[in-house]
Amino acid sequence: MLVRLRKNLAEAEVSLFLALAGELGYSARFLDEERELARLDGPGRPDHRSRLEDCHAVLQVLDPGLARELHLRPPGGPDRVVQVGDALFGGEHVSLIAGPCAVEDPARTLEIARAVRARGATVLRGGAFKPRTSPYSFQGSAHAGLEVLGRVRREAEIAVVTEALDPRDVEAVGEVADMFQVGSRNMANQPLLSELGRQRKPVLLKRGFAATLREFLLAAEFVLAGGNEQVVLCERGIRSFDPSTRNVLDVGGVAWLKRHTHLPVIVDPSHAAGRSDLVRALARAGLAAGADGLICEVHPHPAEVHSDGAQAIGLEDFSILASDARALAALDGRSVVQPGRVSARVPEKIPAQ
């Protein structure tokens, strides 16, 4: 490990640093007379970089060396492939998640599930617990919504992803969902992440709208460090100074993530755009930048949506988008996983995977 120390440290501060390095099992050697640069040789465990960065004497870990965090892709290492029902994310596989912003009534939700599945979605999205900016906005149908999702899941034979907002709801969500969603506002919600680290079911982790890529990966690390290796990252747009679009889809971030981590990365063009007429362009851009899938708000009647209706696309637009996805995936020798391919595997009850 290569560490840069603060300038003009007191002797006591240097000693504290050396003691910590020793305690972690490293031998330290200063590279310069001013003792601002130190090389540490030793075990290199995933937690050591953060432990050293916590030390007051340390200005910056210039190179973590062997202290590789769990999210890091080993040089030349393969993609992790995450399976969710029929869907596969990563490697040669691109999968599509689609559905309403919030769970609707059972009949309507079933209709949507069947419609998006027929058009190429392998996972149904739909919020039972909705994070909202105002306490007076519709907050989702909660446990009733979960029940609808469970029923639709069985009847439409489609896997389901839905958001958990509160660590106390994780168990209930896990009884219905094939995949937990962590929303952008909750990317840094540690009690929630830690709870999900104890689950054995995939987690869709959305990037905070003002989180750096490093912070995003460390949020994933909370889940990974808990023992849950099935994390799918989702870039959904970052906040900028320009009100023209709601967020800016960070396609460079997608490409950067694919290089730095072995975890799959998908994009959410709906929240990035905030308006339906830009969704297709963003979906295409995300896939062209290397994303392993899409999560998209789709609704047969966007105008009747409870929340965020302006960004949902209709069914026909979703067909076009799925067709785009197949064409773009093919350019790279990848393919979009089709519903039903492994559907026999969606079980009545969801086992811990």
- Binding positions for its own copies, 286-345, rule CB under 8 A: 286-290, 302-307, 309-310, 324, 327-328, 331
Nearer residue to its own copies within complex by CB, 74 or 133: 133
- Alpha-carbon distance of 266 to 134, in angstroms, equals 28
What's the closest the beta carbon of residue 145 comes to its own copies, in angstroms?
Answer: 16
Give residues 148-187 in contact with its own copies (rule: CB under 8 A): 165-168, 185-186
- Alpha-carbon distance of 175 to 339, in angstroms, equals 22
Give residues 60-119 in contact with its own copies (rule: CB under 8 A): 62-63
Given 74, 75, 76, 241, the residue binding its own copies (CB under 8 A):
241
Given 64, 237, 264, 293, the residue binding its own copies (CB under 8 A):
237
Span interacting with its own copies, options 44-52, 90-98, 173-181, 335-343, rule CB under 8 A: 44-52
Nearer residue to its own copies within complex by CB, 214 or 349: 214
Is residue 135 part of the contact set for its own copies (CB under 8 A)?
yes
Backbone angles phi, psi at 267, to 5 degrees: -125, 155
- Alpha-carbon distance of 74 to 262, in angstroms, equals 8
Q: Where would I find the H helices in 96-212?
A: 106-118, 142-156, 170-174, 190-197
Span interacting with its own copies, options 89-97, 149-157, 279-287, 340-348, rule CB under 8 A: 279-287
Angstrom CA distances, 56 to 2, 14, 17, 38, stand at: 16, 9, 8, 15
- Alpha-carbon distance of 22 to 25, in angstroms, equals 5
Is residue 221 part of the contact set for its own copies (CB under 8 A)?
yes
Write the CB contacts of 169 (distance below 8 Å, at least 6 apart in sequence). Answer: 129
Could you give the strand order of the β-sheet that contains 37-41, starting from the edge strand earlier in sequence? 27-30, 37-41, 2-5, 58-63
Question: 283 in helix, strand or coil?
Answer: helix
Nearer residue to its own copies within complex by CB, 158 or 177: 177
Is residue 229 part of the contact set for its own copies (CB under 8 A)?
no
Span interacting with its own copies, options 33-41, 81-89, 173-181, 333-341, rule CB under 8 A: 33-41
User: Which of 67, 168, 126, 77 lies closest to 299, judged by CA?
Assistant: 126
User: Which of 165, 153, 204 lies closest to 350, judged by CA?
Assistant: 153
- Alpha-carbon distance of 96 to 122, in angstroms, equals 6
Give residues 1-30 in contact with its own copies (rule: CB under 8 A): 2, 4, 6, 9-10, 12-13, 16
Given 243, 333, 349, 352, the residue binding its own copies (CB under 8 A):
243
What's the closest the beta carbon of residue 105 comes to its own copies, in angstroms?
Answer: 16
Write the CB contacts of 347 (distance below 8 Å, at least 6 apart in sequence). Answer: none
Nearer residue to its own copies within complex by CB, 156 or 265: 265
Span interacting with its own copies, options 79-87, 198-206, 235-243, 335-343, rule CB under 8 A: 235-243
Nearer residue to its own copies within complex by CB, 16 or 81: 16
User: Which of 99, 191, 103, 183 lies closest to 140, judged by CA?
Assistant: 103
Q: What binding mask, one character per residue, do residues 258-277 give for its own copies by CB under 8 A, x or -?
A: xx------------xx---x
